[in-house]
Structures are given as structure tokens and as C-alpha cells.
């Protein structure tokens, strides 16, 4: 595999493919995260540092509501035939904001130094979801006409 082939393939994956699978994955992740935040749990337990610091910024029900609104709106947009570019962009901004807040809040809470930094196993998935939400925002705002399907 040459560099030119790799570059062409990566360009095709990033700019010429549809975003349906990415949007469906983000929708499921947002809905499940919102539902998990509604479960009865002690999110403000100081021994759970990541959730403790994130919970200081928002009430958990507000964060759960934002996740659920984003997930349901994304799923609805996938089912709806004529897509409105402005609603896609607005929903992407909401999703990107939520996932950025959660991801950065988690890593700020976990970070004490590079020698002692031990993220959990789900950190990779959180970063992937964060990147996917940013990628949707970039694609929907940079494309002249939204070709998400």
C-alpha cells in the first residue's frame, strides 16, 4: 500500500462517504448516556472523581435531558427524508458541546500527572465519540450542501 493510495482512500472515507452510521452510533450513545444518568446513583460521591467534577457544573438531570434531546433529535433526523441543513448543524453543535464537556471534564478530573495518569478502559470509546461528534460538526458546516445520505 503506497502513500498515495492511503491518502486517496482516507480522503474518500472522510469526505465522500455518508454519515448515517456515524450519526446512528452517536444517537445510540447519547440516548444510552442520558438514560444511564437518570438511573438512581450517587453521582456526587467525591470518591468518584470524574463524575464528581462533571456534576459540579450541571445538575445530572439537565445533562441527562441534553443527552436525550440530542440522541432523539439525531435519530429523528435519520428517519426523516428531507434533511434541513440548519437543524443538522444545530444538533451537531449541541452534540459536540455535550461530548466535549464530558470528555474534557473526565480527563481533567482523572489527570494528576503523566506518571500517575490511569484512564479507564472506556476512555478510548469516549474519545472516539468525541471525535465523531466534532467530525459531524465539521462536515455539516464545511459542506456547501449537506450530502449526509
Q: What is the pLDDT of residue 31?
A: 95
Query: Whole-angstrom Cα distance, residue 99 to residue 82?
Result: 26
Query: Whole-angstrom Cα distance, residue 59 to residue 42?
Result: 12
> Which secondary-structure segment (H or E) carries 25?
helix 20-38
Match 462536515 to its residue by C-alpha cell. 139
Query: Whole-angstrom Cα distance, residue 17 to residue 12?
Result: 6
- Work out the percent of the chain whose per-residue pLDDT is above 90: 24
> Three-state DSSP class for 4?
helix
Q: How many CB atoms lie within 10 A of CB 8?
A: 11
Q: 18-48: per-residue pLDDT in tens?
A: 788 889 999 999 999 899 888 877 655 655 5
Whole-structure pTM value: 0.79
Q: 93-106: per-residue pLDDT in tens?
A: 999 999 998 888 87
Amino acid at each position: 500500500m503506497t502513500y498515495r493510495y492511503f491518502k486517496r482512500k482516507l480522503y474518500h472515507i472522510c469526505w465522500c462517504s455518508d454519515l448515517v452510521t456515524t450519526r446512528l452510533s452517536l444517537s445510540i450513545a447519547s440516548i444510552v448516556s442520558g438514560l444511564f444518568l437518570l438511573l438512581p446513583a450517587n453521582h456526587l460521591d467525591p470518591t468518584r472523581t470524574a463524575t464528581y467534577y462533571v456534576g459540579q457544573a450541571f445538575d445530572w438531570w439537565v445533562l441527562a435531558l441534553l443527552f436525550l434531546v440530542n440522541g432523539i433529535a439525531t435519530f429523528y433526523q435519520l428517519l426523516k427524508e428531507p434533511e434541513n441543513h440548519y437543524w443538522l448543524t444545530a444538533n451537531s453543535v449541541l452534540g459536540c458541546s455535550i461530548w466535549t464537556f464530558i470528555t474534557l471534564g473526565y480527563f481533567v478530573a482523572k489527570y494528576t500527572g503523566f506518571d500517575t495518569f490511569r484512564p479507564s478502559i472506556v476512555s478510548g470509546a469516549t474519545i472516539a465519540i468525541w471525535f465523531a461528534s466534532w467530525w459531524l460538526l465539521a462536515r455539516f458546516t464545511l459542506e456547501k450542501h449537506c450530502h449526509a445520505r
